[in-house]
Amino acid sequence: MAKPIIYTTPTCMYCKMAKAFFIENNIEFEEKNVATDAEARDEMIHKTGQLGVPVTDFGNGIVIGFDKEKFSELISKNT
């Protein structure tokens, strides 16, 4: 399975919940902090048209916000 990419900011509670979900489920992920990384921010906006975080790119689908059910669904499609 390709690593999900999570676009985050340091103060976002839902970003922290998304990262905790992946850690608890032993899923490796890549984090991109859009507060300090302009290239990552532009990438996220290009993919989604969204400025809000978290945005998680699973390769086969994008989830905006923190949605355990959608995360689980996309993870199961990748394994």
Tell me the CATH number at 67.
3.40.30.10
Q: Which residues of the chain have pLDDT under 70?
A: 1, 79
Q: Which two tokens stand for residue 6?
A: 């999570």
Q: What does the pLDDT read at residue 59?
A: 86
Q: What does the pLDDT read at residue 1?
A: 62
Nearest to 23 by CA among 1, 47, 4: 4
Q: What is the model's pTM?
A: 0.92
Domain ranges, residue 72: 5-78
Q: What does the pLDDT read at residue 64?
A: 96
Side chain identity at residue 73, one-letter code: E
Side by side, the strands of the sheet bearing 5-8 are: 30-33, 5-8, 55-57, 62-64
Q: How many domains does the chain have?
A: 1
Q: What does the pLDDT read at residue 60?
A: 82
Tell me the Cα Rg of the chain. 12
